[in-house]
Structure 1
Amino acid sequence: MSSPDFSQNYFQLFELPVQFAIDTQLLGNRYRQLQRELHPDRYASAAEHEKRVAVQYSAFVNEAYSALRSPLKRALYLLELKGMSQQEISGQQVDGGFLIEQMELREKLESMHDLVDPDTVLDHLVAEISSDIKIHQAEFEAAYNQSDLTAAASACVKMQYLEKILQEAEQIESELMDS
């Protein structure tokens, strides 16, 4: 293994352009290649220091892969690379209309267990939320590409809200399957 470079950003590590739209197949291939290079068996006879560096680098690779694989984490990371802190991002204002929609979605989720046919309604809801997430991903990408970091951060906040609701919907879905 060549000497690990912890100063690389995640995109450099995976030899990808620093942008929102990435080739996920290339990401996966490069990840597997790095994991092979870092496999513990390759360091069985190495000095303790080399083993430690390999373990640290493997953790770095896993963290980078996790960040780039998720559109939301990738968007947040891109803003971080532009110098925005997590506090600045989460402090972005989102319009009242969006917040009302979130409250309505949450109310629909809360009433799921009372419905006669919750599965169909839940499927529609999950599809609606997923579609909204894609809209805000496109919104993020457009704003980021135009260097409008405020609008990009606002789109990120919306994606965070929707991802959280999507997780809740998936949780309800699995509860309904179990009952």
Structure 2
Amino acid sequence: MNRQTIKHSCNPCKYLEDISQLKRVDYFQFFCLPQQYNVDLNELNQHYKQYQKFIHPDKFSLAADQLQENSTELSSFANNAYFTLINDLQRAIYLLKLKGVNVMSEDEQTFDMEFIEIIFSIRMDVDQCENIDELKEIHSEVKTELDVKLTSLKQLFEQKNYDDAKAEVERVVFLEKVINEIQEKEMSLKM
């Protein structure tokens, strides 16, 4: 496979000569994907692997200093783009940012008090739980709720309802934090 096998408009090698072009490209454009929440992950993986074959800094170890620097910067950009788009939550946050909606701003957070009370209750249950089986049951329930929220998020993006998508992203953030806490508790109970 050579440079010509990648679609011309998606060829990451064009950035090696002029790295400043990256400032005008979003992560979706970089991987030649439509700017939408529902991403074809197989296509993303395929582009990422192809790109890394051509732009990985090891390929430029004997090249001129500027080309080495550009390769490192381009590879870093590709990694950041890939790991943002492959993750449902990070992709949602990034897409909202592109749409002018700032999710993580403390000034603009929309707190759903009923949801926060539920999260607080779950955290209390996790904290007090001393039985691994009960903890696994809580984990399963929270994971199911997370899946429901991610499905809802997909629908909200399809409807271009970015305000509600922002609120749903905030709920997903809370649920992912709870899942991390549950996993930590599971580890401590296994010891």
Aligned with residue 77 of structure 1, among 76, 91, 94:
94
Match of 2:13 among 2, 26, 31: 2
Change (3 A) 1:92 1:139: farther
Structure 1 outlier segments of 4+, above 6 Å: none
Provide, for residues 57-80 of structure 1, a one-character-per-residue CA deviation record: whole Å limited to 9, x for no partner: 111011111111110000001100
Distance 1:73 1:125 in 2: 24
Q: Unpaired runs of 5+ in structure 2?
A: 1-11, 16-20
Check if 1:162 corresponds to 2:175: yes
Amino acid at match of 1:170: Q
Q: Partners in 2 of 1:153 and 1:131 — Cα distance?
A: 20
Hey, what's the Cα distance between the residues in 2 that align with 1:93 and 1:137? Answer: 18
Equivalent residue number for residue 31 of structure 2: 14
Amino acid in the other structure paired with 1:21: N
Q: Report the residue type matching 2:13 in the other structure.
A: S
Q: Which segment is superposed worse, 9-18 or 74-83?
A: 9-18
Q: Secondary structure at the match of 2:14?
A: coil
Between the aligned partners of 2:98 and 2:134, the Cα distance in structure 1 is 40
SS in 2 for 1:61: helix
Pick one of 108, 123, 127 that aligns with 1:91: 108
Q: Distance in 2 between matches of 1:34 and 1:175?
A: 41
Output aligned runs, 1:64-143, within 5 Å: 64-88=81-105, 91-112=108-129, 115=130, 118-143=131-156
* Deviation of the 1:17 alpha carbon: 1.8
SS in 2 for 1:20: coil
Match of 2:62 in 1: 45
Percent of aligned pairs sharing the same letter: 26
Q: Distance in 2 between matches of 1:107 and 1:56?
A: 44
Which is worse superposed, 94-103 or 149-158?
94-103
Aligned-pair CA distance for 1:85: 2.3
Contact kept in structure 2, 1:43 and 1:51, CA below 8 Å? yes
1:171 to 184, 187, 190: 184
1:138 offset after TM fit, Å?
Answer: 1.8
Query: 8 Å contact 2:13–2:55 — kept in the other structure?
Result: no
Letter in 1 for 2:33: L
Q: How far off is 1:87 after superposition?
A: 4.5
Hey, what's the Cα distance between the residues in 1 that align with 2:106 and 2:46?
Answer: 31
TM-score, normalised with respect to structure 2: 0.84
> Using the alignment, how far apart are the partners of 2:42 and 2:158 within structure 1?
22
Work out the number of aligned pairs and report it. 174
Structure 1 unaligned residues grouped into runs of 5+: none
